[in-house]
């Protein structure tokens, strides 16, 4: 997959001698390349992309890091729930905005955390205030969910009495409100789409003990889809503007001697057409213990492979069925341990950036004690 560059270590006589770790790294890279050759697949090239890495770390407790910890307010502004400071209590969080064009970082709410963002509706939802009372029982005010008009720069609040869904920053339609399908939280068997499209409802047929999924507008089923209840996401996947479709399921795969069956990425159009895309065959030659998931981006499919880079871990772009690795390809064995890992992955509304938390870096000048922080990668040239 990648060329092997051992670090230059000189022995006592000034001769160059690779360390044991670098030697193991070379063997691992050779094995990956051999596996690719044996499978007939060409090596996947490394085309590194430099990450924008502002000094923003996630909340100090992993329980407070979720998919909503990062949210895109528009094509070039990402909202981040970050630790208030390096030595703050684990419940102390703040909301920062990061402009990926200018590099500007601003604190929007301290204390506070991100609830959601809807770039199409120009709405962001923030929990304003501290959660100390929840975790310590202190007699202090709790944080309050508040929705803002993003075009106003948070200077004007959206009225909270109009029925906003706190998980999606989406207004409740009259029929949904009357059916109590969305107030105040989503029902597990309902996936809410944009207001014009209605929602998907899964229903278990008692006679067959099977579930069907119907595209529903108002009170009327429009179309029964080739889906089951397990195809519906457990979280609120957004409308994918650049696909003009909805993402129902991220693709998943793993490598190794006995991998679990791969799952395709599943999208549904406004009219109910289902598209399944599978990238697992492109990565079947990766080293052991590599798992990955796939998401759409503006020009193809984004693959986040979790594992050591020498085994094939890293961030990949697949365009016209051709993959290339763009991040976490650093071959320095003194880089942080644990391999390429990602938290709270979110793609921008235009599909040209991805933001996530990770410890890894492509910068060989950075030491191995790199803390987990926000990374933003540009996906489009």
Cα separations (Å) of 8 from 5, 22, 35, 46? 9, 10, 27, 22
**Between 296 and 172, where is the model more confident?**
296
With b meaning 16 or more CB within 10 Å and e meaning fewer, what string describes 39-65?
eeeeebebeebebbbbebebbbeeebb
Confidence of residue 297 (pLDDT cuts 50, 70, 90): very high
pTM as predicted: 0.81
Residue 39 reports pLDDT greater than 60: no
**Between 22 and 245, where is the model more confident?**
245
What is the tens place of the pLDDT at every residue in 352-381? 999 999 887 766 555 444 678 899 999 998
> Which pair of structure tokens corresponds to residue 113?
């955390």
Domain residue ranges of the chain, discontinuous segments joined by +: 20-158+241-378, 172-240
What is the reported pLDDT for 192?
73
DSSP state of 312: T
Residue 29 reports pLDDT greater than 50: no
- Give the Cα separation of 289 and 286 in Å (integer): 9
């Amino acid at each position: 997959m990648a060329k092997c560059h051992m670090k230059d270590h000189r022995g006592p006589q000034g001769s160059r001698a690779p360390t044991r770790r670098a030697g193991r790294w070379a063997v691992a890279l050779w094995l990956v390349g051999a596996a690719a050759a044996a499978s007939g697949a060409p090596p996947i090239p490394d085309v590194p992309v430099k990450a924008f890495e502002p000094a923003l770390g996630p909340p100090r407790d992993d329980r407070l890091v979720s998919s909503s910890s990062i949210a895109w307010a528009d094509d070039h502004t990402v909202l981040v729930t970050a630790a208030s400071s390096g030595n703050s209590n684990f419940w102390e969080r703040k909301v920062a905005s990061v402009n990926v064009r200018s590099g500007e970082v601003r604190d929007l709410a301290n204390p506070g955390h991100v609830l959601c963002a809807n770039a199409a509706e120009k709405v962001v939802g923030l929990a304003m205030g501290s959660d100390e009372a929840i975790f310590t029982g202190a007699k202090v005010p709790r944080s309050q969910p508040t929705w803002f008009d993003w075009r106003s720069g948070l200077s004007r609040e959206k009225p909270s009495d109009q029925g906003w869904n706190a998980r999606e920053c989406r207004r409740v339609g009259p029929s949904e409100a009357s059916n109590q399908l969305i107030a105040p939280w989503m029902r597990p068997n309902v996936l809410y789409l944009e207001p014009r499209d209605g929602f998907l409802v899964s229903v278990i047929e008692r006679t067959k003990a099977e579930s069907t999924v119907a595209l529903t507008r108002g009170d009327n089923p429009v179309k029964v889809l080739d889906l089951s209840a397990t195809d519906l996401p457990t979280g609120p996947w957004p409308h994918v503007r650049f696909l003009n479709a909805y993402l129902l399921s991220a693709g998943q795969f793993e490598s190794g001697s006995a991998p679990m069956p791969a799952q395709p990425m599943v999208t549904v159009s406004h009219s109910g057409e289902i598209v399944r895309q599978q990238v697992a065959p492109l990565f079947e030659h990766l080293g052991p213990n590599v798992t990955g998931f796939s998401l759409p981006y503006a020009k193809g499919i984004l693959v986040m492979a979790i594992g050591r880079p020498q085994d094939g871990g890293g961030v990949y772009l697949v365009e016209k069925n051709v993959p290339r690795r763009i991040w976490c390809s650093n071959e320095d064995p003194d880089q942080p341990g644990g391999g390429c890992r990602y938290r709270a992955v979110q793609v921008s509304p235009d599909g040209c950036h991805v933001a996530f938390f990770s410890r890894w870096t492509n910068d060989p000048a950075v030491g191995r004690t790199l803390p987990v922080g926000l990374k933003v990668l540009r996906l489009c040239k």
